Amino acid sequence: MRLLVQAACFFLLLYGGFAVEALAGVQSGDKPPPGRVELVERAPTSTPLYLPVTTCIYQKKGLCRGCSLYYLTEALVWRHPVERWLPYGLVLIFLMLLLGRLWCGWVCPLGFLSDLLTRARLALHLPQLRLSPAVRDGLVWTKYILLALVLGLAALAGWPGMEGVRNDLMDPFCQICPTRVFAPLFTFDTVCWTNFASPAGVVFTLLGLLAFGLFFGGLAVRRFWCRLCPIGGLSALFNRSGLVSLVKDARRCTRCGACARSCPLDVRRVFEGRGRKAVTAFECHLCLRCVEACPEPGCLQFQWLGKRVSGK
Partner 1 sequence: MSERALRDSCRTSELEALDVLCARPDRPAGMRAFDDFHRSGVRADELIALQRGGRKLVGQICHFVPEELVIAAGAEPLRLDQGFAEAVDAASGRLPMDVCCAVRALAGARRAGCSPEVDLLVLPGTCDGKRKLASQLRARGEQVFSLELPPSKRGEMSAAFWHAQVRALICRLEALTGKRISRRPLRAAVELVNRRAAAARALDELRKRDPPPLSGLDALLVVQTSFVADLRWWCERCESLVEECAERTVATGPKARILLTGAPVLWPDFGLLHLLAEAGADVVADEICSGSAHLVQPVVVDEDTRAGLVQAAAERVFLPCNCPCFAESEDRLDRLLHLAEAWRVDGVVHHTLRLCAGYDMDAPALAEAFRERGIPWLSVYTEFGQHAGLRSRVEAFVEMIGSSARRSDRGQE
- Binding footprint of partner 1 on the chain (CB under 8 A): 122, 125-128, 133, 250-258, 261-262, 268, 274, 289, 293, 295
User: Which of ligand SF4, partner 1, none does residue 115 bind (CB under 5 to 8 Å by kind)?
Assistant: none
Chain residue at closest Cβ approach to ligand SF4: 232
C-alpha triplet 235, 206, 109: angle, nearest 5°: 35
Among 58, 88, 204, 215, binds ligand SF4 (CB under 6 A): 58
Q: Helix (H, G, I), strand (E, B), or coil: what is residue 258?
A: helix
CB of 51 to ligand SF4, least distance (A): 9
CB of 50 to ligand SF4, least distance (A): 9
Does residue 72 interact with ligand SF4 by CB under 6 A? no
Distance of CA 135 to the CA centre of its chain: 21
Taking the least distance from each CB to partner 1, the nearer of 127 and 160 is: 127
Query: Side chain identity at 29, as an amino acid letter?
Result: G
Does residue 10 interact with ligand SF4 by CB under 6 A? no
Taking the least distance from each CB to ligand SF4, the nearer of 25 and 310 is: 310
Among 87, 198, 254, 276, binds ligand SF4 (CB under 6 A): 254
User: Which of partner 1, ligand SF4, none does residue 234 bind (CB under 5 to 8 Å by kind)?
Assistant: none
What is the chain's Cα-based Rg? 20
245 touches 280 (CB < 8 A): yes
Does residue 263 interact with ligand SF4 by CB under 6 A? yes
Instruction: Please give the Cα distance from 199 to 114 (Å, whole number).
Output: 31
User: Which of ligand SF4, partner 1, none does residue 133 bind (CB under 5 to 8 Å by kind)?
Assistant: partner 1
**CA within 13 Å, CB half, 229:** 31
CB of 255 to partner 1, least distance (A): 5
Residues near 28 by beta carbon (within 8 Å), at least 6 away in sequence? 17, 20, 21, 43, 44, 45, 46, 61, 62
Instruction: Please give the Cα distance from 193 to 266 (Å, whole number).
Output: 32
Residues 279-308 contacting ligand SF4, CB under 6 A:
284-290, 293-294, 296, 299-300
Does residue 253 interact with ligand SF4 by CB under 6 A? yes
Does residue 49 interact with ligand SF4 by CB under 6 A? no
Residues near 67 by beta carbon (within 8 Å), at least 6 away in sequence? 50, 51, 52, 53, 54, 55, 56, 57, 179, 231
Q: How far is CA 129 from CA 27, 220, 221, 223, 254, in A?
A: 46, 5, 5, 11, 26
Does residue 71 interact with ligand SF4 by CB under 6 A? no
Contacts to ligand SF4 by CB under 6 A: 53-54, 56-58, 66-67, 69-70, 104, 108, 110-111, 171, 173-174, 177, 179-180, 225-226, 229, 231-232, 248, 253-259, 262-265, 267, 270-271, 284-290, 293-294, 296, 299-300
